[in-house]
Amino acid sequence: MENNKLQELIQNFTPEAEITAGKQFLTVTVDKSRLHELAKKLKESEETQFDYLFCESAVDYNDYFMMVYHLDSTTHRHQLVLKAKITDRENPEIDSVCDLWEAANYHEREIFDLFGIRFINHPDMRKIFLDNDWVGFPLRKDYVDKVNVVER
C-alpha cells in the first residue's frame, strides 16, 4: 500500500499517533500504553497485515529509551517502523509483542539483557547472552566498565 494511504489508516486506528514519513520507512510513534493495541491492529487488519517482524531493537537517548519495531507485510510488501518511548529509566517496562510475533521472543530477551527493559507478559523473561550475575546493562549509554571498555 502507498505510504499516504497507510498513514490515513493508522490515523484512524490511533488518532494520537505521531506519524512522520521518513526517507526510507513510514515511522509511527505512539505512547507505550497504546503500543500493543496498535500492533495487534496492524497485524490483524486486512489492509495492513504486518505479519513479519524483521527487526526489534532499543535505543538509549540518555533521558529515555526508544523501542523500535521494523515491520513488513508478506502479502502487501510494505514496511513500517513502529516506535514507543519509555521514560522511566529506573524501572523501564513495556508490553511484550511476543503473542503477536514469535520472532520478538529472542529480540526481547536480548533487549532485557543489554538494556534492562522488562517486557510484560513475555513467556520466558531470562537473560540471553550475559551471566546471571552480570551487573549493569552494557548497551546503556551510562554503562561504566573500567576493565573491558577502554576510553579513548
Instruction: Report the interface residues with another protein, using CB under 8 A.
Output: 22-25, 51-55, 57, 59-60, 68, 70, 74, 77, 81, 101-103, 105-106, 110, 114, 128-131, 138-139, 148-149, 152
Q: Cβ 126 to another protein, closest distance in Å? A: 10
The radius of gyration of the chain's CA atoms, rounded to the nearest angstrom, is 16
19 vs 139, beta carbon nearer another protein: 139
**What are the E-state strand segments in 22-129?**
26-31, 52-60, 65-72, 79-86, 93-95, 118-120
Closer Cβ to another protein, 95 or 108, answer by number? 108
Min CB(98)–another protein separation in Å: 11
Instruction: Please tell me the distance from the alpha carbon of residue 140 to that of residue 125, in angstroms, as a whole number.
Output: 19
Residue 91: CB minimum distance to another protein, A: 22
Return the C-alpha torsion angle 51, 99, 36, 14, nearest 10. 40
The whole-angstrom separation of Cα 46 and Cα 50 is 9
Q: Least Å distance between CB 29 and another protein? A: 12
- Residue 13, H or E segment: helix 3-13
User: Could you tell me if 114 and 106 are in contact, meaning their C-beta atoms sit under 8 angstroms apart?
Assistant: no
Q: Which is nearer to another protein, 59 or 120 (CB)?
A: 59
* 91 vs 149 by CB, closer to another protein: 149
